[in-house]
């Protein structure tokens, strides 16, 4: 793998990940870009003891452009995108409209009981392929491994930034999920705090050492496994919140993507893409989903973390979506319309064999 660092016209970092050592990455971004926005505000909610990022500059971010104006496609003679090169394998760059960054401004006292501090951290975009009309499910095993190399590289680099407490790699896919760019891509958030869901999982693991491994062992012995190989297992969790939800665990406990072996990265690719294709096959349409890597925090209770991926869709039936209505949105109390065992059976029936 060849790794090349360059910069965009406004100073943001861009990193090419190439399979070929002779890839030419000398193209220059000549766009007249506006100055980078200041970092968001972090405001503390004393009732939930959670931080909320207030990022008003994100209101102006690009929203569902035409394919000819896609900012994630390679640049051409008639269109300059976020990637100056005429082609690429995998690219990572700093988000132009970040929720967290190191570009601090002036932060005021907002009154009440809310503490305010800078939204320190970093947000990056990961372009999985230069092919605009492709998807993660259609990537070759070698391309998935290159994406994983990029995830691992960025996890290690971002974890070393002062003030970063957790690194989150994820993909949002489908307009039903709320994507603003259809080009196959994901994002990476380097948070200045441990996120609420991770904190809850670690608190549970602190009460029962080996909890993640116990969950995996129990699921591997049951009826909700949808795909497996020697190093990974994909299953629908017993208490799935979403109509179609799949968790993917490595059999060996590692804290994050950077700690995976070459063999584990290679084994992940065919299993994961087969699950994605199975989801698309359920109703004969591209399944909207969120795919979220859960990594151990950089410092807090890191020894309890267990890398795993949680994949879920808001589609519950052909033409029907699962909306987070009153119970879920107001109370955080989920009600699932699909029996997890039935969801597992349906997905398993579609997995490539």
How confident is the model over 315-342, as pLDDT tens digits? Answer: 999 999 999 999 999 999 999 999 999 9
The stretch 286-303 carries a mean pLDDT of 96
Token pair recorded at residue 212: 């993640």
Domain that holds residue 235: 197-350
The pLDDT of residue 109: 85
Where is the domain boundary, 181, 196, 211? Answer: 196
Provide the 8-state DSSP code for 258. Answer: G
162: tokens are 């002062």
- Whether 308 is catalytic: no
Cβ atoms of residues 37 and 170 within 8 Å: no
pLDDT band at 57 (very low <50, low <70, confident <90, very high): confident
Number of domains in the chain: 2
Question: Do 69 and 191 have their domain in common?
Answer: yes
Is the pLDDT at 353 greater than 60? The verdict is: no
Tokens 């969801």 correspond to what residue? Answer: 343
Clarify whether residues 204 and 187 are in a common domain.
no
Distance CA 107, CA 191 (A): 18
Residues 236, 216: Cα–Cα separation, whole Å: 11
Residues 170 and 267 in one domain: no
Q: What is the pLDDT of residues 23-49, one digit of tens each?
A: 999 999 999 999 999 999 999 999 999
Mean pLDDT value across residues 301-321? 96
Higher pLDDT pick, 57 / 239: 239
The DSSP element (H or E) to which 334 belongs, if any, is none
Active-site option among 7, 57, 132, 185: 185
pLDDT at 108: 81
Collapsing DSSP to helix, strand or coil, 245 comes out as: strand
Tens of pLDDT, residue by residue over 99-139, are 999 998 888 888 889 999 999 999 999 999 999 999 999 99
Stated pTM of the model? 0.96
* 277 in the same domain as 265: yes
Residue reference for tokens 């503390």: 44
Is the domain of 178 the same as that of 295?
Answer: no
């Amino acid at each position: 793998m060849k790794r090349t660092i360059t910069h965009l016209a406004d100073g943001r970092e861009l990193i090419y990940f190439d399979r070929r050592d002779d890839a030419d990455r000398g193209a220059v971004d000549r766009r007249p870009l506006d100055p980078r926005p200041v970092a968001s505000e972090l405001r503390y909610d004393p009732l939930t003891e959670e931080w909320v990022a207030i990022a008003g500059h994100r209101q102006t971010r690009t929203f569902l452009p035409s394919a000819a104006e896609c900012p994630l496609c390679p640049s051409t003679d008639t269109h300059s995108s976020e990637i100056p090169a005429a082609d690429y394998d995998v690219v990572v760059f700093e988000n132009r409209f970040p929720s967290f960054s190191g570009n601090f401004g002036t932060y005021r006292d907002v009154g009440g009981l809310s503490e305010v501090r800078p939204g320190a951290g970093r947000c990056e975009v990961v372009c999985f392929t230069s092919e605009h009309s492709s998807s993660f499910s259609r990537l070759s095993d070698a391309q998935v491994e290159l994406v994983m190399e990029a995830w691992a590289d960025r996890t290690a680099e971002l974890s070393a930034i002062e003030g970063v407490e957790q690194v989150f790699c994820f993909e949002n896919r489908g307009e039903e999920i709320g994507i603003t760019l259809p080009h196959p891509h994901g994002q990476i958030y380097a948070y200045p705090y441990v996120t609420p869901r991770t904190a809850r999982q670690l608190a549970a693991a602190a009460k029962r050492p080996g909890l993640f491994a116990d969950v995996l062992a129990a699921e591997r012995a049951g009826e909700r496994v949808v795909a497996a190989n020697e190093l990974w297992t994909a299953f629908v969790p017993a208490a799935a919140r979403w109509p179609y939800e799949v968790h993917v665990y490595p059999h060996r406990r590692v804290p994050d993507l950077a700690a995976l072996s070459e063999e584990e990265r290679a084994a992940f690719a065919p299993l994961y893409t087969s699950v994605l294709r199975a989801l698309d096959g359920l109703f004969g349409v591209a399944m909207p989903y969120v795919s979220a890597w859960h990594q151990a925090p950089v410092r807090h209770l890191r020894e309890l973390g267990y890398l795993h991926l949680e994949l879920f869709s808001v589609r519950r039936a052909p033409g029907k979506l699962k909306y987070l209505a009153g119970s879920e949105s107001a109370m955080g109390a989920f009600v699932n319309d699909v029996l997890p065992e039935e969801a597992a059976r349906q997905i398993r029936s579609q997995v490539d064999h």
